[in-house]
Amino acid sequence: MTGLTAAVAALSMAALLAGCGESGGSGDVTLKLVAADYGDSSANSSKKYWDALAEKFEDEHPGIKVDVAVYSWTDVDRKVKEMVADGEAPDLAQIGAYADYAAQDKLYSADDVLSIPTQADFLAPLAKAGVVNRVQYGMPFAASTRLLFFNEKLFKSAGVTPPESWSELQAAAKKLKARGVKIPYALPLGPEEAQAETYQWLLSGGGGYTDNVGTYDFDSKQNVATFNWLKNELVGKGLTGPTPPGKLNRAEAFAAFTRGEVGMLNGHPTLMQMAAKKHLKYGMVPMPGVNGKAQSTMGVADWMMAFKENGHRKEIRQFLDFAYSKKNVLEFSREYDLLPVTTSASQEMSDDKADAKKLGGFLEELPASQLYPVGKTSWAQVSVQIKKYIGKTVDPNGDPQATLAQLDAKAAAEENAS
């Protein structure tokens, strides 16, 4: 009996240890999911998407419930931060940034909560951007890129074709201005999203926010040359409209484009919807580079992350493998005119004639796109500094070299502090 008792005790202890860090097999487990709202009205709120997805998942996985809370982009990052601070982290959060939580060791790695096929299906540049210290914590959930939008009617009237280089862009802007176009090229370097317009131009000039080893490099030779060109050859020649770029926000530039006041500007898929509602005929081409098409464009991703606090790794893994199935990724992407984050869904969208007609240009740019350095915990504060100062580079008395050097010093300080 002694041997039997010992064996039973050993099995009981093994079962107990196996359950540590995991949810057990008795009773229902409820996963808490907080997500951002991509809709622009109650009719297409992301809450409807997530509720439908949760219902389908629960039908296929008895014993697991999914409690969904959806907040506007204005509130969602703050809401998750508050929940984590109060010791009530959700199991899953689909929001804008993950690096701070990874640095605090609050997240499961992607290896922990995704099957190998699901993780391998992520598009390479998006997966790479989710890495901190060589471990992937951020799981891309939604993506977009940028293209140069142009007003077809204004271009035809001015007798110009879509530009492929900076000199062609300047020449087109001059002809548009001569035809009385209010804003030949909209350059939104205002505080709303200056980091995006800045990054797009830095990439088109062969530079970027970091060097080849990931160190901030704002005042590189290429970056300084890019902003000298913008200051002297575009803004200085009166080709960016009456509002100083440092005071022009993206939303205002988009609205002016849909009113027919803008000849061309950088835009993402949302601008297609806005233009269509105004019955504006437009075209889209890749961003021009110094001497031809830019080598890469800016990519943007929003992130899914899995918190360790509640210990529901097994159930999180089941839900994420379900959510990242090709069918569900396509459904979300099509609903909100976003780009799929997986190779399988991206390929199917490219092969579909309707999808390709609508988003083909953006899809083509995504594989070679460059994302913000979101794996740096300093990036959030560095982005704030860009929004605050970058517009000054193109002012009449602006000094691109000095401003970019200032930003580089501030970025280095933030990086050291983090």
Each residue's pLDDT tens digit, 316-353: 999 999 999 999 999 999 999 899 999 999 999 999 99
Q: Are residues 57 and 128 in the same domain?
A: yes
- Does residue 288 lie in a domain region? yes
Q: Are residues 45 and 88 in the same domain?
A: yes
Q: Are residues 152 and 121 in the same domain?
A: no
Mean pLDDT of the chain: 92
Q: Are residues 331 and 218 in the same domain?
A: no
R_g of the chain, CA atoms, integer Å: 24
Four-CA torsion 385, 126, 187, 234, nearest 10 degrees: 100
Does residue 16 have a pLDDT over 70?
Answer: no
Q: How many CB atoms lie within 10 A of CB 273?
A: 12
Q: Are residues 224 and 314 in the same domain?
A: no
Q: Are residues 192 and 289 in the same domain?
A: yes
CATH number of the domain where residue 55 is located: 3.40.190.10
Of the pLDDT bands very low, low, confident and very high (cuts 50, 70, 90), residue 21 is very low
Q: Which domain holds residue 281?
A: 147-296+378-417
- Does residue 323 lie in a domain region? yes
Q: Are residues 63 and 163 in the same domain?
A: no
Q: Are residues 177 and 316 in the same domain?
A: no
**What pLDDT digit, counting tens, does each position of 158-177 carry?**
999 999 999 999 999 999 99
- Does residue 16 lie in a domain region? no
Of the pLDDT bands very low, low, confident and very high (cuts 50, 70, 90), residue 203 is very high
Q: Are residues 266 and 407 in the same domain?
A: yes
For range 114-130, the mean pLDDT = 96
The predicted model scores a pTM of 0.85
How does DSSP classify residue 30?
E
Please, which residues have CB within 8 angstroms of residue 115's CB and are 6 or more apart in sequence? Answer: 317, 321
Record the tokens describing residue 212, joined without a space.
């080849």
Does residue 25 have a pLDDT over 80?
Answer: no
Structural domain count, the chain: 2
* Pairing label, strands 92-95, 298-306: antiparallel
Does an H or E element contain 157, and which? helix 152-158
Of the pLDDT bands very low, low, confident and very high (cuts 50, 70, 90), residue 39 is confident
For residues 186 and 240, is the Cβ–Cβ distance under 8 A? yes
- Does residue 6 lie in a domain region? no
- Does residue 74 lie in a domain region? yes
- Does residue 65 lie in a domain region? yes
Q: Are residues 151 and 135 in the same domain?
A: no
**What pLDDT digit, counting tens, does each position of 182-193 carry?**
999 999 999 999
Q: Are residues 91 and 118 in the same domain?
A: yes
- Does residue 349 lie in a domain region? yes
Q: Are residues 85 and 99 in the same domain?
A: yes
- Does residue 135 lie in a domain region? yes
